[in-house]
A and B are shown apart, each in its own frame.
Chain A
């Protein structure tokens, strides 16, 4: 079973003469444990693709299947609980870390777990384990404002991993980091894809950051123009 399956995915903004096709006929699959990059310049449609797979942006046409569950087929399937699916099947990593400023590092991870109905004590144990595994054991009670950019992004990764999602979607996760921290984050994602057997789909415009990825999709003007297999899978 594919972790992500996209078939003829199209997203059109607006109608009639003002209609803009942000993504057209995208078709691909991502397997569990695979690290895939979507590479393209600004405005190429890569974030639209990510948000459609991330159950944020309703596709105009095409089919999206996440972890075997069809979520979109010519639009969202009726009766779909998008929030529950996002909570249970997806993990998100953002360009800016998007940590909640009034929660500590530990609480930022715990909140994702508590939202998914874990008890406070269970959430605390799991969050502490996760943060410690990412070498943040000494930063548990620090607020995001006291963390470095790299540390904050690692907390965000821990939050994305908290509910053991089948798919992790990362939107320019290294954009706010310097080159060294950026590379460290990408290394960490590679490691996590293998360890957690999660499919990780990373959107980026920086080709320097995609070294060692299993596959790279090049996107331009809303179309996947090239798929490169790095031969690591």
Chain B
């Protein structure tokens, strides 16, 4: 006869409520683990979807995600010419926050060369960008419909496609536009600002007595062209030809002034060790604290439940029950509670994780690991009750 099951059957209300409470706690531990993994996945999303081998950024920076990086777009031609590079493509990134439907609407805008790579990884609905201007593909998480328009910079952009879960390292959903549009949105000044700049340049040049009128006009046009140019990007990504040596390509690019070639491995390190390290540690600490709390709660439940059964245990001992009968009753109850609470926590997370504001990544290894930890906690916690139970004297069954 299984005494643990019989006790649970009799006190099922209390057992179910306790298991639900514990299940919620385990659910929180699971979600912490999911957020922890989600941070990684988010941080590396653009990196992994781009499938580049080298990220060329501004010299002495950890760009384009951890630090600001600005390099001229035309460096892509020089990078393409490096032996071992199969293709190179410029990318532009910026975080945008606008007002939409009366609420702040934040997303990560990626500009890519329509003839290059680094665009939307997958189209779930609609199509990819075909026109050079005013079209955009948005991540599913932005909750925008195809055909919907959004005003960015000086122009309206129409959603033509929905892509998968691409997010920035801070978890903002991504939207894709052509590189030209992205550069316009990021760098193009409005007409009044342009007129103002041109007049200021002309006035400054007019103050130089040694310049002839033709030189002044020439200089004025050239300076304006440079200041009004939008042909700047945050990075140029490159893919290597099969068999090419990454170190060698990096070394060649490093020799140029003003540029830093970052490998995927280095970029991963920058993103995970630098940008999300503190958040990661915080979550790790929370997980440990919650597990300790769970252990204390389970121990208390088992201990209280044992105290409630002192007379039963004494009676069992008096009628000759072996220690294994008593140990089995306590241990099985503890393990059952752990397993059921784990199941409740798992079901809860499975049903809700899609609705979390940040990405939750549930990995089998983490879930299995947590299951083993919960079972270990239940087993260790039950020792507290077992110790108490084994000390109970059969004589305690006597008397009123």
- A interface with B by C-beta (< 8 Å): 47, 50-51, 54, 56-57, 83-88, 92, 94-96, 98, 100-103, 107, 110-112, 114-116, 120, 123, 143, 159, 171, 175-176
CA separation between A86 and B318, bound complex, in Å? Answer: 7
Beta-carbon contact of B398 and A51 below 8 Å: yes
Beta-carbon contact of B1 and A92 below 8 Å: no
CA separation between A35 and B374, bound complex, in Å? Answer: 54
Known: A95-B400, A116-B320. A102 touches B9 (CB 8 A): yes
Beta-carbon contact of A107 and B6 below 8 Å: yes
**A176 to nearest B CB, angstroms?**
7
CA separation between A85 and B320, bound complex, in Å? Answer: 8
Known: A56-B318, A56-B395, A115-B320. A107 touches B1 (CB 8 A): yes
Q: How many A-B residue pairs have CB under 8 A?
A: 82
**A160 to nearest B CB, angstroms?**
8
| A83 contact from B3, B10, B11, B322, Cβ within 8 A | B322
Smallest CB-CB separation from B314: which chain A residue?
A98
Beta-carbon contact of B394 and A84 below 8 Å: no
Known: A101-B312, A102-B7. A84 touches B320 (CB 8 A): yes
- B interface with A by C-beta (< 8 Å): 1, 3, 6-7, 9-11, 311-312, 315-322, 325, 393-395, 397-400
Beta-carbon contact of A115 and B311 below 8 Å: no
| A98 contact from B1, B322, B397, Cβ within 8 A | B397
Beta-carbon contact of B394 and A56 below 8 Å: yes
Beta-carbon contact of A83 and B321 below 8 Å: yes
| B398 contact from A47, A84, A101, A114, Cβ within 8 A | A47
Beta-carbon contact of B6 and A92 below 8 Å: no
Chain A residues whose CB sits within 8 angstroms of the CB of B316 once the complex forms: 100, 111, 115
Beta-carbon contact of A112 and B319 below 8 Å: yes
Smallest CB-CB separation from B323: which chain A residue?
A83
| B319 contact from A50, A51, A86, A171, Cβ within 8 A | A86
Chain A residues whose CB sits within 8 angstroms of the CB of B395 once the complex forms: 51, 56-57
Beta-carbon contact of B394 and A143 below 8 Å: no
**A26 to nearest B CB, angstroms?**
18
Chain A residues whose CB sits within 8 angstroms of the CB of B325 once the complex forms: 115
Known: A83-B317, A98-B311, A102-B11. A115 touches B322 (CB 8 A): yes
Q: What are the 5 tightest A-B residue pairs by CB atom distance, in nearest-first order?
A: A87-B320, A102-B10, A86-B320, A102-B7, A98-B315
CA separation between A76 and B332, bound complex, in Å? Answer: 33
CA separation between A96 and B311, bound complex, in Å? Answer: 11
Smallest CB-CB separation from B325: which chain A residue?
A115
A/B interface sample: 16 pairs, CB < 8 A: A51-B398, A56-B394, A83-B321, A100-B3, A100-B312, A101-B312, A102-B9, A103-B10, A111-B3, A111-B319, A115-B316, A115-B321, A115-B325, A171-B399, A175-B400, A176-B400
